[in-house]
Amino acid sequence: MKKGLTIGLHSAPFPLLLGGMGVRISAGRLAGHVALCGGFGTVAAAGIGVNSRHYNGRNLAQADPLAFQDEIRKAYAIAPQGVIGVNCMVAVTNYAEMVLAACEAGAKFIVSGAGLPMQLPGIVADRFPEVALIPIVSSSRAAELIARKWHKNYARLPDAVVVEDPDTAGGHLGEKLENIGTGAYDQYQTVRDVKEYFRKVWQADVPVIAAGGIWDRSDMEQALARGADAVQMASRFVCTEECDADPAFKQAYLECRPEDIGLIMSPAGLPGRAIIRHFDQVRQSQLDAGQRCPSNCLHRCSFKEDRERFCIIEALDRAQRGDVVRGLVFCGSNAWKADRITTVAEIFTELFSENQALSPLVSNG
């Protein structure tokens, strides 16, 4: 099995990146423990300020960067020598502010999706050259567009690329709703195409990370065998003691069946994968409460503009705090496989036992 992962200037013992999960599902505690065990630990930016000590119900723009930095520092307190970074959505209104806040708090990498992060190197610019930049794509064409734009405008290429499978990944998906689940998408052909593009056009060996549907050791080994340099895993880490979600959120994973997982349309204009058993109550509960846009968190939002669909930050916050009936529980297609609460260390042992999964970071932490 492939050992280790290097992205830009940063190396970890194992080829695993924690997928970003907002609102506060992958926050400081989960990210810190993933980094402690030898992976790349990721704090998700989306809605991180909600329900934080900085939030008064009306000041999300001010609370978000402060809460983000709190969680990054919390992760480093758990894994001082770990590789800790963030996931920032392009679609949010405070994208640049959150990227800069993360860099100032010591983030070692920025993963960016929910739109193409064409301006990301310009935000980081010369102030934080050591921060690795990692776009999320679902096609080789998107990777090519980003590479050409970044090279032309900023003389920079991505330090790694995440290739996300819209047929299996959780949360917001970078594909049109009608194209998901048709059987036409070949994730690992896309992985190989992206890898070959950077080698052929730029003579660069850019790590390509497979995301979506990766649950266990056999999934990971298949991904590595089919061309990926590493895997991104998110849903698998929800049912851990260290996950930042309420126990009721984790219980929703433990109780869900394959038929409970489906696609929804986000007010951001993107499809998303979630547990849909109670989905009709998400919007209805907001209508009953007279919910209005509380934070202007998205550039494009059908709820903010026309009160269509629902307020996504409110729905995700409800679920994270334990209201999984009126809240939205994002998940990947394999969330139904969760059967117990475990620990991050136990997952790493299962995945990497032949490589002595509990890395020196754990023994020294």
On whether residue 309 sits in a domain, the answer given is: yes
On whether residue 74 sits in a domain, the answer given is: yes
Together in a domain, 95 and 112: yes
| SS3 (DSSP) at 133 | strand
- For residue 101, what pLDDT is reported? 97
Whole-angstrom Cα distance, residue 23 to residue 44? 7
Together in a domain, 159 and 45: yes
Together in a domain, 143 and 253: no
User: Which H helix or E strand runs over 35?
Assistant: helix 28-36
Together in a domain, 360 and 284: no
On whether residue 239 sits in a domain, the answer given is: yes
Report CA dihedral (197, 199, 201, 207) to the nearest 10 degrees. Answer: 60
For residue 183, with 0-12 CB atoms within 10 Å meaning exposed, 13-18 middle and 19 or more buried, which class applies? exposed
Together in a domain, 175 and 275: no
Contact (CB, 8 A) for 364 and 78: no
| SS3 (DSSP) at 9 | coil
Which residue, 196, 116, 113, 202, is CA-closest to 156?
202
- For residue 362, what pLDDT is reported? 46
Together in a domain, 241 and 277: no
DSSP H helical segments within 274-359, as ranges? 279-288, 302-306, 312-320, 344-352
* Pairing relationship of beta strands 271-275 and 171-172 according to DSSP bridges: antiparallel
Together in a domain, 304 and 290: yes
For residue 11, with 0-12 CB atoms within 10 Å meaning exposed, 13-18 middle and 19 or more buried, which class applies? exposed
State which residues form the domain around 120: 5-245+340-364
Whole-angstrom Cα distance, residue 156 to residue 163? 19
Whole-angstrom Cα distance, residue 142 to residue 158? 12
Report CA dihedral (16, 220, 258, 271) to the nearest 10 degrees. Answer: 50
| Amino acid residing at 12 | A
Whole-angstrom Cα distance, residue 189 to residue 228? 10
- For residue 151, what pLDDT is reported? 97
Together in a domain, 158 and 282: no
- For residue 288, what pLDDT is reported? 73
* DSSP annotation of 353: G
Together in a domain, 217 and 293: no
Together in a domain, 255 and 357: no
Structural domain count, the chain? 2
- Give the pTM: 0.93
Torsion sign (Cα): 48, 49, 52, 54: positive
On whether residue 139 sits in a domain, the answer given is: yes
Q: For helices 312-320 and 279-288, what crossing angle results, to 10°?
A: 110
For residue 195, with 0-12 CB atoms within 10 Å meaning exposed, 13-18 middle and 19 or more buried, which class applies? buried
| SS3 (DSSP) at 17 | strand
On whether residue 335 sits in a domain, the answer given is: no
On whether residue 73 sits in a domain, the answer given is: yes
| Amino acid residing at 198 | F
| Amino acid residing at 131 | V
- For residue 268, what pLDDT is reported? 86
Together in a domain, 181 and 254: no
User: Which residue carries 């505690």 as its tokens?
Assistant: 29
- For residue 283, what pLDDT is reported? 80
- For residue 357, what pLDDT is reported? 43
For residue 151, with 0-12 CB atoms within 10 Å meaning exposed, 13-18 middle and 19 or more buried, which class applies? middle
Together in a domain, 106 and 232: yes
- Local mean pLDDT, 10-residue blocks, the chain (365 residues): 85 97 96 98 95 89 95 98 97 93 98 95 93 97 98 97 97 91 94 98 98 97 96 98 97 97 92 93 80 74 74 90 95 97 97 63 42
- For residue 364, what pLDDT is reported? 37
User: What phi, psi does 218 have (nearest 5°)?
Assistant: -65, -40
- For residue 1, what pLDDT is reported? 52
Q: How many CA atoms lie within 13 A of 216 on its CB side?
A: 7
CATH number, domain at 193? 3.20.20.70
